[in-house]
Amino acid sequence: MKMIIQYNNRYQPLRNREKKKYPVTSRVPNYKALIPINLTSTRKVPSRESGFAVPKFMFINICSLAKTKNRVRAVVALEADLVNNDIDVCVVSESHLKPEMPDAVVTIHNYSIFRRDRSWEGRDMRAKGGVAIYVRNNLKVIDIYRSSLYELIGVTLLLPTGNRMSIYGFYHPPRHNYLESDLLDYLINISDDVLDKYPDTVIVCGGDLNSLDIKHLEELSGWDAMVDFSTRGNTCLDNCLTNRIDLFSKCYPFHMLTKTDHIGVILPAGTKLKPMRRKVEFRDCRKHRKEDFHKALAEEDWEDVSQSTNVNDAVNCLERKIMDHMNKCMPTKTVSISSSDPYWMSPLIKSLLKSKSRIARSQKDRLSLINKRISDVICQNRRNFRAL
């Protein structure tokens, strides 16, 4: 029996296939056939939703804001510490102030002070004690709370980011007539009231806590204590706690310029608040500008003003002539003022510094002249500030 086997062209044996030349190409993967795999990282990456800019804090026990040591007032030394460390909020324990002492005695330029003196409301008439909070003026304070039972003051801020922050500064003296558990319950209750209304509020509290049970406070509140070093001798008496530890960096100690037996604590921000800037328009009223203005007015022809028969026309003509000479001899200038500028920095100095930057280094005479002008204005501003 004869069998005939037929092969399909596609599957015929290789020896019977017609040899064809195919171009050699690289294989291209089919990405549509791949199975997507979600990869997760264990590294914590900050996001804009979870992190935002916060103030930089300082916590100190100054042992009297009104004292003078080595002919230097404590508040003056504190001002230098705030400026040198670029502090936004400072909590001061043992302010030793009395209600009859005005804020002007302990005021610091570009900061607002909020006090809770020990003898406030007449409940505790012992000497010393007290707590105060300095807040930089560019921060918006929307609420102030003073406790009538404890040396505690609270300040609520509305940050530029729109977030709320409640700051509690308190002093827990070594000798007290209350139970520590009552103080802890009181502190947690007032903070819970805030969080019930505004759950995203950032809580920061601290001061000279002495022998307060910090571990127990952490357990009750869920907050984190930030200070892990000694602040007086070999003990940690000053501390600060927060419910948003992710917004801050690690605390570090610093030695204050004024004499005290405590070491200060600085709580840096994870993301520092940017200085508030605003445009200011001012008129250059320096002496030589005024002399030019006086000369221009003396040489002006006022005949059309004096011979005018209409009062309104005469006034308008007079005003127009004066303003024309004023704008020519004493022009207006616009500069940017920052909330972090020192107290002696004025719009005029900003304008002079801007003019100085445009002068070539080879023009030494012009540089020397403008440097002298800047120095004179700075000295005058400092003298005027001390005279206040």
Residues 258 and 289 both lie in one domain: no
Amino acid 269: pLDDT: 93
Residues 304 and 197 both lie in one domain: no
Amino acid 364: pLDDT: 87
Q: Which amino acid, 150?
A: Y
How far are the Cα atoms of 50, 51, 222, 271 from residue 46, in angstroms, in the given order? 7, 6, 21, 11
**In this structure, is residue 26 part of a structural domain?**
no
How far are the Cα atoms of 113, 116, 147 from residue 103, in angstroms, in the given order? 7, 12, 19
Q: How many domains are there within the chain?
A: 3
**In this structure, is residue 354 part of a structural domain?**
yes
Query: Mean of the pLDDT values across residues 352-371?
Result: 88
Residues 138 and 71 both lie in one domain: yes
Q: Give the tens place of pLDDT for each residue, 242-256.
A: 999 999 999 999 999
Range of the domain at 304: 285-330
pTM of the complete model: 0.67
Residues 316 and 349 both lie in one domain: no
Residues 199 and 348 both lie in one domain: no
Nearest to 297 by CA among 319, 312, 281: 319
Alpha helices (H) along the chain: 74-84, 180-197, 214-221, 287-299, 303-306, 311-329, 347-356, 364-386
Amino acid 354: pLDDT: 84
Nearest to 111 by CA among 142, 147, 146, 75: 75
Q: Which residue has the higher pLDDT, 30 or 158?
A: 158
- pLDDT confidence bin for 39, thresholds 50/70/90: very low
